[in-house]
Chains A and B, each alone.
Chain A
Amino acid sequence: MISELEMGKAESELELGLGLSLGGGTAAKIGKPGGGGAWGERGRLLTAKDFPSVGSKRAADSASHAGASPPRSSQVVGWPPIGSHRMNSLAAKSAREEEEAGKKKVKDDEPKDVNKKVQVGFIKVNMDGVAIGRKVDLNAHSSYENLAQTLEDMFFRGNPGTIGLTGQFTKPLRLLDGSSEFVLTYEDKEGDWMLVGDVPWRMFITSVKRLRVMKTSEANGLAARHQESNERQRK
């Protein structure tokens, strides 16, 4: 159906001459010369397993060609038809409930369902030097490599129509291994900024509040802080 599920079609970035390889080179490359809109933007909605694959038929076909990152064939894009502001509001509520369930806080009159799936929702991403941020749906990603790929597509392969997001950055990016000009960082629920990639993915998506593509030169000391806040978290 939509591109997210056709990510198995690895397209080489001939236009920009990039030979991208992330963390081992087995990750599927998503060729989207038009910008990472499909992943990038607002939303993939989780829905039921009880969806027949009418809409996702084509998706299911291409899903079988998928590379390292498993696509979610049960997701139907843009359904139910609810605007992203509302989706975010619901996601925020769900995240709060999960958090409180985890902390074993008791609220008098709220129905609680600890087993409810967490609707993580859309996370804002800003990049140093770019005025306008974007949003990315963490539900649509299954690993750090996925996420890094999406962000690179979003910020470094933007289409000409987007003001301010294209151009200067043509070097291949390695957001995760610290070897490029930029690193990926995130702010967690406690307000600390940390390097992305240090904790298991599942733990990351429940604690991330927003993302920032930061200049490596400014990211010094983040690793150290990460240690401290880890200890704080274990209190």
Chain B
Amino acid sequence: MNYFPDEVIEHVFDFVTSHKDRNSISLVCKSWFKIERYSRQNVFIGNCYSISPERLLRRFPCFKSLTLKGKPHFADFNLVPHGWGGFVQPWIEALARSRVGLEELRLKRMVVTDEGLELLSRSFVNFKSLVLVSCEGFSTDGLASIASNCRHLRDLDLQENEIDDHRGQWLSCFPETCTSVVTLNFACLEGETNLVALERLVARSPNLRSLKLNRAVPLDALARLMACAPQIVDLGVGSYEDEQDSESCLKLQAAIRKCTSLRSLSGFLEAAPHCLSAFHPVCHNLTSLNLSYAAEIHGSHLIKLIEHCKKLQRLWILDSIGDKGLEVVASTCKELQELRVFPTDLHGGGNTAVTEDGLVAISAGCPKLHSILYFCQQMTNAALITVARNCPNFIRFRLCILEPHKPDHVTSQPLDEGFGAIVQACKNLKRLSVSGLLTDQVFLYIGMFATQLEMLSIAFAGDTDKGMLYVLNGCKKMRKLEIRDSPFGDAALLADVNKYETMRSLWMSSCEVTLGGCKRLARKAPWLNVEIINENDNNRMEENGYEGRQKVDKLYLYRTVVGTRVDAPPFVWIL
């Protein structure tokens, strides 16, 4: 390879797209490092505080696509206070100052502002794609800037963001000359939508493949939109509220029948049950169905819809479907790869909830299943052992038993053996979330068998530091470890400080780690940012005499090459 000119090597590298592989390539030799640097198109930064924008630009001067993630995962569940960090502004500013021809920006759990969006829209002539997932801090004014200024906008994909909806005219900010839109997802917007502007935009976008509407789009508008865009592949129908208008329904049915490319369906936020039948003609083509927001639809109607979906690969649903419904899924959806079952009743005791039987049925009926997220009220070791035997191909296995510390409801034993069976059978398991009553034993199993595990979520589990140690010592590929309300303390935290260099981050909240332990860790590992998040105590931790022994509320540590961040709020103490 050394005798080939750089251009040839670069051409070969073009075929290598995965980040891991490209990182590996760059380690081979200096020459490859250099070639790879200049040719890297897509940069992925899993923790925005692990590196600075300046260093990013020094290493990769020519990239076109940047993915940034900010807050830790538990921020989704309100465990990270407002203002903690994850600000994208410095990144946008640095990129704008440089000569990078940014075309795509993908952000997850970051704080975005209208000013930032405006700067973004004005700084990159070829900007094409904006994907924001679980972000916050901006309004529809920011969207208006993007619409107005990005001449070649292809994707505007807003997933589960907190957007201040000023009920403005952002949709009408797309110039009439803009015909390049491929993805338009604004399902998370709360306010009214300019329907006229929307229809005109859709009508002049022949490449539109993915359209996800928000709750404010009524049925007749939906029918018109679908009629304008029969090429649609991925549709989010918004609220889909039945207006008892038979003419609208007929128009909708006619429009739906023309959408022969439709493969993915979502929305139905306020759907009345009998409207679902309008979609039956296209169900046989669907590969992805997200009904997890369709809280208004009763199980039986969900089942009627799913019975038509023989090609389904991905299903997100509410537990109102029940075990019986999951049995229908198991017998109908033989191509199913990913299943998520969300709870409808958080107080417990719902009679339509799913149980271990539903999970077993799915595992028996769907041979291609590799990812599952399952919320339920009860579980047994026997069921999990059966699931493990049926489905040794899990890559992601997330089980959430709603009541913390709940044991096997038949034997009253901890669920150690059940999860143990899962990790032993599933040799490719990369992500695992455990729940229910669990002792240190389950972590012994995880450490022993989950050799490929990269992300582990632990809540209300374990007995002693040994539990956490089993995991840290055993799981060589661990990248993200997040623990809450479990009795792991300083001994586990400090046992192998170098382990954290191989991981992206560690989160521990309401555990037994003390301030003294965290300080010792920070001293031993200066290349880590050790953050203590303590909303109330703030600096009171220093004042009282028990400093060393005081328990830390929330600990978040991560490796970084740029040291302590400068944008931390007062309630974050970086040791």
Which of the residues B79, B134, B164, B188 comes within 8 Å of A78, measured between beta carbons? B79
B85 touches A51 (CB 8 A): no
Name the residue among A34, A36, A55, A117 with the largest chain B CB count within 10 angstroms: A34
Given contacts A54-B404, A159-B83, 19 further A-B contacts (CB under 8 A): A1-B553, A32-B571, A34-B570, A37-B84, A48-B348, A52-B404, A76-B404, A78-B484, A80-B375, A81-B76, A93-B344, A109-B273, A119-B346, A124-B190, A131-B114, A132-B164, A135-B162, A159-B571, A160-B569
* Minimum C-beta distance from B506 to chain A (A): 17
* Chain B residues within an 8 Å CB radius of A36: 82
Interface set of B (CB-CB < 8 Å, partner A): 74, 76-79, 81-85, 87, 113-115, 134, 137-139, 141, 160, 162, 164, 188, 190, 269, 273, 292-293, 295-296, 298, 300, 342-348, 352, 375, 400, 402-405, 433, 457, 459-460, 484-485, 510, 535-536, 538, 551, 553, 567-572
Q: In the docked arrangement, what's the CA distance between A134 and B79, Å?
A: 16
The closest CB in chain B to the CB of A158 belongs to B83
B404-A55 in contact (CB<8A): yes
Q: Are A81 and B459 closer than 8 Å at their CB atoms?
A: yes
Q: Given A1-B510, A43-B78, A58-B551: A34 and B269 within 8 A (CB)?
A: no
A229 within 8 A of B: no
In the bound complex, do residue A83 and residue B535 qualify as a contact, i.e. CB atoms below 8 Å apart? no
* Shortest Cβ gap from B440 to chain A (Å): 15
Q: Is the CB of A89 within 8 A of B269?
A: yes
Write out the residue numbers on chain A whose beta carbons fall within 8 Å of the beta carbon of B571.
Answer: 32-35, 37, 159
- Which of A2-10, A200-208, A213-221 participates in binding chain B? A2-10
Which residues of chain A (116-144) have a CB below 8 Å from chain B? 116-117, 119, 124, 126, 131-135
Please give me the residue from chain A that is nearest to B292 by CB atom. A86
What distance in Å separates the Cβ of A11 from its nearest Cβ neighbour in chain B? 8
Minimum-distance CB pairs A-B, first 7: A37-B81, A34-B571, A78-B77, A55-B485, A37-B82, A159-B569, A93-B295
* 17 A-B contacts (beta carbon < 8 Å): A31-B536, A35-B571, A41-B81, A50-B403, A52-B405, A54-B405, A54-B485, A81-B76, A83-B134, A86-B342, A89-B293, A93-B344, A110-B296, A116-B347, A159-B569, A161-B85, A162-B569
A47 at interface by CB-CB < 8 Å: yes
Q: Mark A72-103, 1 if CB is under 8 A from B, else 0.
A: 00001111111111100110110000000000
Complex Cα distance A129/B482, Å?
Answer: 38
- Assess whether A81 is in contact with B77, with CB atoms less than 8 Å apart: yes
Q: What's the nearest-Cβ distance from chain B to residue A65, in Å?
A: 12
Other-chain residue from B78, B113, B160, B569 in contact with A77 (beta carbon distance below 8 A): B78
Contact of A33 among B113, B403, B460, B570 (CB under 8 A): B570
Any B CB within 8 A of the CB of A45: yes
Q: CB within 8 A of A48: which of B85, B292, B403, B535?
A: B403
Q: Does A212 contact B (CB under 8 A)?
A: no
Interface of A is mostly: loop
Residue of A nearest to B401 (CB): A80
**Among the listed B139, B292, B551, B569, which residue makes an inter-chain contact with A131, where contact means beta carbons less than 8 Å apart?**
B139
Does A184 reach chain B (CB closer than 8 Å)?
no
A216 vs B184: C-alpha distance in the bound complex, in angstroms?
40
Q: Knowing A80-B346, A86-B293 touch, does A55 contact B79 (C-beta < 8 A)?
A: no
The B interface, classified by DSSP as helix, strand, loop or mixed, is loop
Bitwise interface map of A from 38 to 72 toward B, beta carbon under 8 Å scored 1, else 0 = 10111111111011101100100000000000000
- CB of B140 to closest CB in A, whole Å: 11
* Cβ contact within 8 Å between B114 and A37: no
Q: What distance in Å separates the Cβ of A119 from its nearest Cβ neighbour in chain B? A: 7
B83 A83 Cβ-Cβ under 8 A: no
> Which one of A80, A93, A134 has the highest number of Cβ atoms from chain B below 10 Å of its Cβ?
A80
Q: Does A163 reach chain B (CB closer than 8 Å)?
A: yes
Total residue contacts A-B, CB cutoff 8 A: 173
B404 touches A6 (CB 8 A): no
Residues of B within 8 A of A161 (CB): 83-85, 87, 567-569
User: Which residues of chain A (163-221) have a CB below 8 Å from chain B?
Assistant: 163
Q: Which of chain B's residues have a CB closer than 8 A to the CB of A34?
A: 81, 83, 535, 538, 569-572
Q: Bound complex: CA of A80 vs CA of B401, how far in Å?
A: 8
Chain A residues within an 8 Å CB radius of B375: 80, 82
The answer on a CB contact under 8 Å between B404 and A79 is yes
Residues of A at the B interface (CB closer than 8 Å) are 1-3, 6, 9, 11, 31-38, 40-48, 50-52, 54-55, 58, 76-86, 89-90, 92-93, 109-111, 116-117, 119, 124, 126, 131-135, 154, 158-163
Contact of B536 among A3, A41, A42, A46 (CB under 8 A): A3
CA distance A82 to B538 in the complex (A): 28
**A54 and B460 form a contact (CB under 8 A):** yes
- The complex places the Cα of A31 from the Cα of B188 at a distance, in Å, of 33
Cβ–Cβ contact A78 & B346, under 8 A:
no
Q: Is the CB of B405 within 8 A of A45?
A: no
Collect the chain A residues with CB atoms within 8 Å of residue B137's CB. Answer: 132, 163
Known: A34-B83, A79-B404. A55 touches B164 (CB 8 A): no
Asked if A2 contacts B535 (CB within 8 A), the reply is: yes
**Looking at the complex, which one of A2, A35, A132 makes contact with B83 (CB distance below 8 Å)?**
A35
Tell me whether A46 and B346 are in contact in the complex, defined as CB-CB below 8 angstroms, given that A93-B296, A161-B83 are known contacts: yes
- Minimum CB–CB distance from A114 to chain B (whole Å) comes to 14
Please tell me if the beta carbons of B553 and A51 are within 8 angstroms of each other in the complex. Answer: no
CA distance A81 to B402 in the complex (A): 9
Asked, given contacts A37-B82, A77-B78, A77-B79, whether A132 binds B342 with beta carbons under 8 Å apart, the answer is no
A47 to B403 Cα, complex, angstroms = 9
Q: Are B346 and A84 in contact (CB under 8 A)?
A: no
**Which residues on A sit within 8 Å (CB–CB) of B347?**
46-48, 116-117
Residues of A within 8 A of B164 (CB): 126, 131-133
Q: How far is the CA of A133 from the CA of B572 in the complex (A)?
A: 23
Q: Nearest-CB distance from B512 to chain A (Å)? A: 11
Are B485 and A35 closer than 8 Å at their CB atoms?
no
Contact B273 A83 (CB under 8 A): no
- Cα–Cα, bound, A93→B293 (Å): 10
**Which residues does chain A contribute within 8 Å of B459, judged by CB atoms?**
79, 81
The closest CB in chain A to the CB of B406 belongs to: A50
Contacting pair B536 A163 (CB below 8 A): no
Chain A residue nearest to B320 (CB atoms) is: A111
Minimum distance in angstroms from B482 CB to a CB of chain A: 10
Q: A110 and B269: CB pair below 8 A?
A: no
The reply to whether B139 and A51 form a contact with Cβ atoms under 8 Å apart is no
Q: Shortest distance in angstroms between A92's beta carbon and chain B's nearest beta carbon? A: 8
Verify B138–A162 contact, CB threshold 8 A. no
Residue of A2, A46, A117, A154 with highest tally of chain B CB at under 10 A: A2
